[in-house]
Structure 1
Amino acid sequence: MRKISLSNVQSGMKLARSIYTENGHILLGAGMELKQAYINRLKDCNISEIYIEDEISKDIDVRDVINERTRVEAKALIKNIMDECKTTSHFTSDRVKSMVNRIIDELLENKDILVNLSDLKTVDDYTFAHSVNVCVLSLITGIRLGLNQLRLRDLGVGALLHDIGKVVIPEEILKKPSQLTDDEFEKIKQHTVLGYQMVKDNPNISASSAYIVLGHHERFDGSGYPLKIKGENIHLFARIVAIADVYDALTSDRVYRKKIKVHEVIEYITALGAQQFDKTILQCFVRNIALYPVGTGVLLSDGAKGIIVDVNRELPTRPIVRIIYNNNGQKADAFTEIDLTKRLNIMIVDTCEI
């Protein structure tokens, strides 16, 4: 399978991965032949890209670090909790712990897989998908840092709930398609304190989980909010979630901007690392990200174009590529795969549509 922009999808293409509504119901199932009416429906749902199965991407397996059903149910859970909090400010924390334990178990089973986040987020369900991704990314980092099961659960609970305070921020501010005013930004910043007030007195949520909700926008150099604390005075869990939060936000489509490519985001947050993030945690985080995710089209330095087939954990900039177009722009008669760890004279220039 491979990922392509919806603008390049044509009638007759075969959907490789199911697409779900924010409530966890299947919108379009894997294996369906896409008709124009389906494509138009996806556009109406603000879906910008999908996975398709075709001859050039045959046998390419895009593996996620957690099961598809787990991801879908986790998104539906966080949506239900946030809907509850809009009216009651209370929710049942047992469901959150159960889901986090399930995610931890799956991550431990797949701990050798580089992160290749393959969910298809829409602009409309961004908050729910983002919460799940931040939870997954934070837990992977926590596992690599050697946290025990109990601390991982506290980390995961706080990460899954980190944006819960946004339920009381007006929708017109959260989804504003243009630059926020200073006053609007101050209102957005209140979600950390408001969220903390929602969870801090819940007897089933630990103090460290609650602190993530309060402190995930603190920065290592003291430039964050709401308390402007710095360095190791920021709880370890909040330092982890801060990185995961920024990474997933930048690699997601938003109402006011398009997503940024994974390798560009990694370069960006690495550059910020010395100032805004804990350098040790950042290095651990980056080592678990596939810079060029499986199923992505790439342009090589010799002019050829191909699709990422597999990644190399030790050398993430040098994955295995299936060549689809040669350096003359001609489609190959037979697709060959090259391991860039063995072809040091060739490098990836950029990602592209194939």
Structure 2
Amino acid sequence: MRRVSIEKVQSGMRLAKSIYSEDGQVLLGTGVELKETYIERLRNFNISEIYIEDELSKDIDVKDVINDRTRQEAKTLIRNIMEECKNTSQFTSDKVKGMVNHIIDELLANKDILINLSDLKTVDDYTFAHSVNVCVLSLITGIKLGLNQLRLRDLGVGALLHDIGKIVIPENILKKPARLDDNEFNVIKTHTTLGYDIVKNNPNISASSAYIVLAHHERYDGSGYPLCIKGDNIHLFARIVAIADVYDALTSDRVYRKKVKVHEVIEYITTLGEHHFDKTIVECFLENIAVYPVGTGVILSTGEKGIIVDVNKRFPARPIVRVVCNPDGSRKNAFEEIDLTKTLNIMIRDTCEI
């Protein structure tokens, strides 16, 4: 399978990965042949990308670190919790812990898989999908750091709930299709303290989990909010979630901008690791990220185009590429797979649509 933007999808293409609605229902299932009416429906749901299966991408398997059912159940859970809090400012926490424990079990079973972020988020369900991704990214980092099961659970609970304060933020600000002005940004910033007020008195939420909700926008150099603390004065969990939060936000489509390419986000976070983030955690975090995710189209230094077939855990910037197009854009008669760890004279120049 390979990832294709909705603008490039054509009638007759075959869907390789199921598409879900905001409430977790299957909109289109794996294997469906796409018709113009289906493609239009996807556009109406603000779905910007899908996975397709064709001759170019035959036998390419995009593996997620957690399964689709778990991801959808987690999104539905956080959605329900936020709806619950809108009405009562309270929520049932037992299900959160159970979900986090389940995610931890799946991650421990798949800990050698680099993160491909194969989840197809829509602009409309961004908050819920983002919460789950931040939880997964944070837990993988926590596992890499050697946290025990109890600490992983507290980290995961806080990460899953980190944006719960956004239920109090007006929709016109949260979904504004343009950059926020200073006053609006100040309103957005209150989601940390508002969220903390929601979770801190829940007897089943630990202090360290609640602290994540409060402090995930603190920065290592003291430039964050709401407490403006710096360095190791910021709890380890909040330092982890801060990186996961920025990474997933930048690699996601938003109402006011398109997502940033993964390798560009990695460069950005690496640079910020000197100031905004804990450098040690940044290094640990990035060890688990596929720089060029499986199913992504790339341009090689030869001018040829290919699709990422697999990633190398030890050398994530040098994956295995299936070369499918000549430098002039014409389709190759026979596809060739190149392991860039063994072909050092060829490099990836950029990602692209194929």
- Normalising by structure 2, we get a TM-score of 0.99
Distance in 2 (CA, whole Å) between partners of 1:340 and 1:137 is: 26
Q: Give the counterpart letter for 2:58 in structure 1.
A: K
Q: Which whole-Å deviations, capped at 9, do the CAs of 1:266-295 have from their partners, x for residues lacking one? A: 000110111000000000001100000000
1:225 equivalent in structure 2? 225
**Matched residue, 2:78:** 78
Cross-structure match for 2:271:
271
Distance in 1 (CA, whole Å) between partners of 2:36 and 2:331 is: 26
Alpha-carbon separation, structure 2, partners of 1:243 and 1:306: 30
The 2-side partners of 1:289 and 1:20 are apart by 24
* 1:298 aligned partner: 298
Equivalent in the alignment of 2:134 = 134
Amino acid across the alignment from 1:85: C
1:237-271 Cα shifts (integer Å, max 9, x gaps):
00000000000000000000000000000000110
What are the equivalent positions in structure 2 for 1:60-75 lying under 5 Å apart? Answer: 60-75=60-75
Equivalent in the alignment of 2:47: 47
Give the distance between the partners of 1:126 and 1:120, measured in 2 at CA. 10
Shift of 1:336: 1.1
Structure 2 residue matching 1:38: 3-state secondary structure: helix
2:157: which partner in 1?
157
Secondary structure (helix, strand or coil) at the match of 2:275 reads helix
The one-letter code matched in structure 1 to 2:330 is Q
Q: CA deviation at 1:326?
A: 2.1
Whole-angstrom distance in 1 between the partners of 2:293 and 2:27: 24
Counterpart mapping for 1:237-248 below 5 A: 237-248=237-248
Match of 1:309 in 2: 309
Q: Does 1:16 align with 2:19?
A: no
Q: Distance in 2 between matches of 1:120 and 1:179?
A: 23
2: distance between equivalents of 1:105 and 1:329? Answer: 44
Distance 2:298 2:329 in 1: 13
Q: State how far apart, in whole Å, the 1-side matches of 2:41 and 2:339 are.
A: 39
Instruction: Kindly provide the CA deviation profile for residues 74-122 of structure 1, in whole angstroms up to 9, marking residues without a partner as x.
Output: 0011000001111111110000000000000000000000000101000
Match of 1:96 in 2: 96
Equivalenced residue count is 354
Code of the aligned partner of 2:12: G
Gaps in structure 2 of 5+ consecutive residues: none
Indicate the residue corresponding to 1:262 in structure 2: 262
Distance 1:61 1:48 in 2: 20
Residue of structure 1 in register with 2:319 after alignment: 319
Q: Tell me the SS of whatever aligns to 1:324.
A: strand
Higher mean C-alpha displacement, 323-332 vs 7-16 = 323-332
Residue 332 of structure 1, CA deviation: 1.2
Give the equivalent residue in structure 2 for 1:234: 234
Secondary structure at the aligned position of 1:52 is classed as: strand
Shift of 1:333: 1.1
Q: Distance in 2 between matches of 1:328 and 1:82?
A: 51
Partner of 1:36: 36
* CA distance, structure 1, for counterparts of residue 84 and residue 274 of structure 2: 39
Shift of 1:313: 1.1
Identity of aligned residues (%): 77
Off by >4 Å, runs of 4+ in structure 1: none
Q: Distance in 2 between matches of 1:309 and 1:179?
A: 37
Shift of 1:330: 2.5
For residue 336 of structure 1, what is the aligned residue in structure 2? 336
Tell me how far apart the structure 1 counterparts of residues 198 and 242 of structure 2 sit (CA, whole Å). Answer: 20
Measured against aligned partners, the alpha-carbon deviations of 1:193-216 in whole angstroms (never above 9, x if no partner) come to 000000001010000000000000
Quote the offset at 1:314 in angstroms.
1.0
Q: Distance in 2 between matches of 1:328 and 1:210?
A: 55
Q: CA RMSD in A?
A: 0.6
The Cα of 1:183 is off from its aligned counterpart by 1.1
1:112-123 to structure 2, matched below 5 A, reads: 112-123=112-123
SS of aligned partner of 1:337: strand
